[in-house]
Amino acid sequence: MKTIFDFKMISEFLKRKDFKMIFDAMHGAAVPYVKEIFGNIFGLPSTSFFHCENLEDFGGLHPDPNLVHAKELV
């Protein structure tokens, strides 16, 4: 990932006071990446992540990232 994305630039952006982020991993394949990259590398608090447990059934939630199915993020 570090060869594809500019981690220094992303890190600087995430530290801006006028920016907040919430990532919904939807209990899917992104969970380990979210925890490692955004948590360990970029240092974001765990409160910046939702649904970060790998579950085969997506935790009973709709697997579509469309905001129609993710009202708690808005």
- Count how many domains the chain has: 1
**pLDDT (tens digit per residue) in 31-54:** 999 999 999 999 999 899 988 888
**What is the domain range of residue 14?**
1-57
**With contact defined as beta carbons under 8 Å apart, do 12 and 43 qualify?**
no
What does the DSSP 8-state code read for residue 5? S
Pairing of strands 23-24, 49-50: parallel
**With contact defined as beta carbons under 8 Å apart, do 40 and 14 qualify?**
no
39 falls within a domain: yes
Choose between 14 and 66: higher pLDDT. Answer: 14
In this prediction, residue 27 carries a pLDDT of 84
Choose between 43 and 29: higher pLDDT. Answer: 43
Please give the Cα distance from 57 to 74 (Å, whole number). Answer: 23
